[in-house]
Amino acid sequence: MSQTTVITEEYIPLKSRIWVSAADASVAILQNVIGGGALTYYYTRVMGLSPELASISWIIFGIWNAINDPLYGYVSDRTKSKLGRRIPYIRYGAPLIALSFILLFLPIPAGENPQTPLFIQLTLGLFLYDTLYTAIASAIYVMPYEMAVSNRARSGVFIWKIIFMAFSTGLPLVVLPIIQPGPGEDAAPFRFIMYLLALIMAAIIFFSTFFYREKNFQQAEKQYPFLKSITESFSNFSFIIFLVTSFTVIYVQTGLMQGVLYYFDEIDVPAMSLYISLAAGIVIGVFFWVQQRDRWGVKKCLLVWLAIFSAGCFVMLALGRIVTAATVSFFLIGLGFAGGMYLIPIMNGDVIDYDEKRTGLRREGMYAGINSLVTKPAISLAQAAFLSILTRFGYQQGLPKGLQPASAETGILIAWMLIPAILLLISCIVTFWYPLAGTSWERTKKELARIHEEKERAHLAALGYRTAENQSAPIKSPIGEQE
């Protein structure tokens, strides 16, 4: 007698949504300090490393990213453990990333010529930190795709991620300019805060892994060899479009967070009112993009979001010294940050789902690795370009806050906003060719959800778990094994 398979709506428990989002935000806070400009500011303005050597360090570091990210993605896709393919890297990498973060700020004997020791510490510290960051952040990033396939179920995770990311983005933006020491000031309190931050964030990352789980059937699938896995990923045209937008967003976020430290140092505007405007843009943006995703579809949301984000950068570039214009700019940029936090993961999930339709495999790790291969250099380029433009406009790293020449103020606005505004506009134009939209694509998503449920049921039954179709099997708890 044949049985009818009933596909229920996917659901991710509230505790899982909260904890995976908290872990994601914890990693993001550490990364926003390292990649968002605070580390470069600390080494060049506080410790005295030359901007030229700092730029070289970031460029060398970018080369390492070209190797470790896709390699990690390949390895993680093929990982087999009772915890899953991703959770072991998150759980056991947490204490190590705290140590690597602390080492970047640990004072070392520099002697009379500190340039070489500081350059070595920055370069090697970035290598160690980013290796661990890649393993942990990539695993957390793809967890929603391991937990569910429908955009509705994933959206529940992404909403919580936005709530937490508002803190992980806003906290460094607001707090770092306050606690960051200037040239000649005592850096010990700042270092202590960095050490404490690393330990707290690592604890959250570690304990989060006891509150969510992966779908286990994906471990049983045979994956492509390394080179074929890469070529298959680039054969996915929607992924090419995604990479353009992803590169842009990481470059923009890095540049914006780095530039704000210099902006409030030298340009006389009320920081608190601008931060309130930014926060308002983020909060309103969260509700707006969540509501419009079902009404407009992902593609139209992407187009509108990129246009708004670009407009905010152009306003700041042209009128950043005028308080009213800067307030409007910060609001639009807040809408942009919210859109990036919500829409980019949704877009990435669709790209990975389409790959499964093409290949029959779930390859989140490889896609995350290749994405990082593209976006990590964006961090290095944003850092190097910002410092290079500042230098050309006469910015002097050794001067106390507020004493830069007028040309340097212009240089700050240009280094901060020009390239991000152009990149966002280009991404908006490119997104017109994004193919994953319409009723046909929605039908494909529903079919994938059905296939996933059948695969998970078959995999659990093969391992001896009781399912609706296998009532004679012994009772086991897959969640219990995870926890």
Output the DSSP codes for 288-340.
Answer: HHHHHHHHH-HHHHHHHHHHHHHHHHHHHHHHTTSHHHHHHHHHHHHHHHHHH
Per residue in 91-121, is it b (16+ CB within 10 Å) or e — as a string?
A: bebbebbbebbbebbeeeeeeeeeeeebbeb
Those residues whose C-beta lies under 8 Å from the C-beta of residue 34, and which sit 6 or more positions away, are 101, 104, 126, 129, 133
Q: Is residue 446 part of a domain?
A: no
Tens of pLDDT, residue by residue over 316-372, are 999 999 999 999 999 999 999 888 888 988 898 889 888 888 888 778 777 877 887
57 falls within a domain = yes
Q: What is the CATH number of the domain that holds 57?
A: 1.20.1250.20
Domains in the chain: how many in total? 1
For residue 294, the number of C-alpha atoms closer than 13 Å in the C-beta half-sphere is 7
Between residues 219 and 214, the one the model is more confident about: 214
pLDDT at 217: 53
In the structure, what pLDDT confidence band is assigned to residue 150 with cuts at 50, 70 and 90?
A: low
Per-residue pLDDT at 79: 77
Higher pLDDT, 101 or 380: 101
Q: What is the pLDDT at residue 458?
A: 66
Say how far apart CA 264 and CA 331 lie, in whole Å: 17
Highest mean predicted confidence (pLDDT) among 59-63, 165-169, 197-201: 197-201
Q: What is the predicted pLDDT for the residue at 455? A: 67
Q: Name the band, by pLDDT with cuts 50, 70 and 90, for residue 479.
A: very low
What pLDDT is recorded for position 216? 58
Determine contact, residues 41/180, Cβ cutoff 8 Å.
Answer: yes
The mean per-residue pLDDT over the stretch 2-25 comes to 73
* Per-residue pLDDT, 478: 37
Q: Of the segments 144-148, 237-241, 408-412, 457-461, which one has the largest average pLDDT value?
A: 237-241
pLDDT-derived band of residue 27, with 50, 70 and 90 as boundaries?
very high
Which segments within 194-309 are labelled E, that is strand?
A: none
Q: Residue 114: pLDDT above 90?
A: no
**pLDDT beyond 60 at 480:** no
Question: How would you classify residue 369: left for phi > 0, otherwise alpha for psi between -120 and 50, otherwise beta?
Answer: alpha
Q: Is residue 390 a part of any domain in this protein?
A: yes
Residues composing the chain: 483
Is 76 within a domain? yes
Q: Indicate if the pLDDT at residue 207 is higher than 80.
A: yes
Task: Select, from the ranges 37-41, 179-183, 218-222, 333-337, the one with the highest average predicted confidence (pLDDT).
Answer: 333-337
Query: Is there a domain that residue 9 lies in?
Result: no
Report which of 279, 249, 158, 201 is spatially closest to residue 29, judged by C-alpha positions: 201
Question: What is the end-to-end Cα distance of the chain in Å, rounded?
Answer: 37
Per-residue model confidence (pLDDT) at position 459: 56
66 vs 265: CA distance, rounded Å: 34
Alpha-carbon distances of 344 from 174, 244, 251, rounded to whole Å: 24, 11, 14
Higher pLDDT, 10 or 75: 75
pLDDT of residue 7: 42
CA distance 260 to 256: 6
- Taking alpha carbons only, the member of 402, 407, 380, 406 closest to residue 392 is 407
Structure tokens at 112: 């009379």
CA proximity to 103, closest of 131, 86, 69, 128: 128
pLDDT band at 406 (very low <50, low <70, confident <90, very high): confident
Nearest-5° Cα angle at 222, 220 to 225: 145
Q: What's the rounded Cα separation, in Å, for the pair 421 and 413? A: 12
Quick check: 197 pLDDT over 70?
yes
pLDDT at 146: 74
Average pLDDT over residues 102-111: 85
- What is the C-alpha separation between 125 and 122, in angstroms, rounded? 5
Burial tier of 378 (Cβ tally within 10 Å: 0-12, 13-18, 19+): buried
Q: Assess whether pLDDT exceeds 90 at residue 247.
A: yes
Residue 288 belongs to some domain of the structure: yes
Outline where 360-438 has alpha helix (H).
364-392, 406-430
Q: Which amino acid is present at 7?
A: I
pLDDT, tens only, 332-348: 999 998 888 889 888 98
Within a domain: 39 = yes
Percent of the chain beyond pLDDT 90? 29
| CB-count exposure of residue 421 (10 Å: 0-12, 13-18, 19+) | buried
At residue 255, the pLDDT reads 84
**What span, in angstroms and rounded, lies between the C-alpha atoms of 406 and 420?**
22
Q: How much is the pLDDT for 417?
A: 93
Q: What is the pLDDT of residues 235-245, one digit of tens each?
A: 999 999 999 99
Q: Is 19 helix (H, G, I), strand (E, B) or coil?
A: helix
CB 369 within 8 A of CB 71: yes
- What average pLDDT does range 215-231 have in this prediction? 69
Predicted pLDDT at 306: 96
Q: How many CB atoms lie within 10 A of CB 175?
A: 14
Question: Average model confidence (pLDDT) for the chain?
Answer: 82
C-alpha to C-alpha distance for 417 and 26, rounded to whole angstroms? 27
| Structural contact between residues 418 and 282, judged by C-beta atoms closer than 8 angstroms | no
- Asked if the structure places residue 355 within a domain, the reply is yes
DSSP H/E element including 52 = helix 51-77
pLDDT value, residue 4: 44
Distance CA 18, CA 158 (A): 10
- Is the pLDDT at 443 greater than 50, yes or no? yes
* pLDDT of res. 468: 45
Domain containing residue 336:
14-437
Max Cα-Cα span within the chain: 85
- How confident is residue 460, by pLDDT bands cut at 50, 70 and 90? low
